[in-house]
Chains A and B, each alone.
Chain A
Amino acid sequence: MTAVLDRPDTERVPRFGQLFGRIVLAGVIAGALAGAFSLLVTGRAIAPALELEEARAAAEGAGHEHGEELFTRSEQMFGGFLGTVLAGVVLAVLFAAVYGAVRHRLPGRTDFARVMLLAAVGFGVLALLPALKIPANPPAVGDPATVDTRTAIYGGTLLCGVVGVMLVAALVSWLRSRGTGIPTTAVAATLAIGVLLAMVLVFVPDNPDTIAADVPAAVVWDFRLASLGQLAVLWAGIGLAGGWLLDRFTRRPAAS
């Protein structure tokens, strides 16, 4: 039995359609796993924030906060599951196109290793980076008046991350083309990531909101951890399921 990370004896290049189907299936699986995490963990972390909102609305009298009457809590929990599955599919579609375009440039001896690497990059840029710059907040924290500013910061951070990855990739391939060894290249790439990350944290504007005094720190902290955990499950699922499915396929010798 061959180990997962070793070099296969025969490896074929998948056609894009074959790659696309497997990665999107992985997106459905990953979305369902992260959706289950949402039902079990994140949804529960949201509950105290919603209670706080209701308490505020009751205190103000005729509170109309965010149309709680539109959906029941269990319907919203289901929406959280379904929305996460949809996000998994959308991210998998993006992943498939990018993986198809860069597969021949990715280090790694197998498709499993390459898919895992790209999924780790995806988690770093699309989940961890915004979590550092503009961390997720539960309901009852954000100021509705600043939502457009916060959306711009979030989008700008994602964009900076994508540009940053391309810069680091360009640096790595430039160093490798000059014959620089892997240790030196790894050190240079890590330094470049550190500098770029610091630039994003310093130069992209901060979240303008202050967290209201009636929101317990534990409510915000638990929610942020749960949110990051959910995104980690999503990206780990895309990497593991997508890598496993694709690796199995590319190892099989093409039918002749």
Chain B
Amino acid sequence: MTSSPHAQRAAAGRGRISVPAWAWAITLIALFGLYLIAQDNGQVLQSLGETAHEFFHDARHSLGMPCH
């Protein structure tokens, strides 16, 4: 054993994770998707949004998002 377990742990446990750009891109797409199905009042999706709104209506209310 060349270095103490403590030092190894400090080096490994506290190392940085590099978050790739795709992760942030997927995050933005996912959040926008959630907005579309839950929060869109017809501004973006028009009548399809109305259908999605009605289907996910319980989720929209129960997750605390403003609605009618």
Q: Are A97 and B23 in contact (CB under 8 A)?
A: yes
Interface string of A1-24 (1 = CB under 8 A from B): 000000111111111100110000
- Residues of B near A79 (CB, < 8 A) are 54-59
Given A76-B54, A83-B60, A227-B62, check contact A101 B9 (CB 8 Å): no
Given A87-B63, A131-B64, A227-B63, residue A43 in contact with residue B58 (CB < 8 A): yes
Interface segment among A55-63, A66-74, A177-185, A193-201: the answer is A66-74
| Residue A124 lies at the interface, judged by CB distance under 8 Å to chain B | no
Whether a CB of chain B sits under 8 angstroms from the CB of A164 is no
B55→A76 contact, CB < 8 A: yes
- Closest chain B residue to A67 by CB distance? B54
Q: Mark B35-68, 1 if CB is under 8 A from A, else 0.
A: 0011101000000001100111111111111111
Q: Say whether A46 contacts B62, CB under 8 Å.
A: yes
- Most A Cβ at <10 Å: residue of B9, B50, B54, B63: B63
- Chain A at the B interface: SS class: helix
Set B20, B30, B58: member contacting A42, Cβ < 8 A = B58
**Tally of A-B Cβ pairs under 8 angstroms:** 167
Complex: chain B residue closest to A12, CB-CB: B12
Interface string of A220-231 (1 = CB under 8 A from B): 000100111011
Query: B19 an interface residue at 8 Å Cβ cutoff?
Result: yes
Check A10–B12 contact: CB distance below 8 A: yes
CB distance from A78 to the nearest CB of B (A): 8
Contact across chains for A90 and B16 when beta carbons are under 8 A apart: no
**B38: chain A residues within 8 A (beta carbon):** 83, 87
Q: A38-B62, A80-B62 are in contact. Are A13 and B26 (CB under 8 A)?
A: no
Is there contact, CB below 8 Å, between B62 and A42?
A: yes
What's the Cα separation between A114 and B14 when bound, in Å? 11
How far, in angstroms, from A10 to B5 measured CA to CA in the complex? 7
Chain B residues whose C-beta falls within 8 Å of the C-beta of A75 in the assembled complex: 55
Minimal beta-carbon separation of B50 from chain A (angstroms): 7
- Cβ of A70 to closest chain B Cβ, rounded Å: 4
Judging by beta carbons under 8 Å apart, are A94 and B64 in contact?
no
User: Contacts of A127 on B, CB cut-off 8 Å?
Assistant: 64
- Once bound together, how far apart are the Cα atoms of A196 and B58, in whole Å? 31
CB <8 Å contact, B9 and A7: yes
Q: How far is the CB of B55 from chain A (nearest CB, A)?
A: 4
B16 touches A77 (CB 8 A): no
Decide: B56 and A80 in contact? CB cutoff 8 A: yes
Q: List 10 A-B contacts (CB under 8 A).
A: A46-B61, A67-B50, A80-B56, A83-B60, A84-B59, A87-B63, A97-B23, A97-B24, A103-B16, A130-B64
Apart from A67-B54, A227-B61: 4 A-B pairs, beta carbons within 8 A: A13-B12, A13-B15, A16-B18, A87-B34
B residues in contact (CB < 8 Å) with A: 5, 8-9, 12-20, 23-24, 26-27, 30-31, 33-34, 37-39, 41, 50-51, 54-68
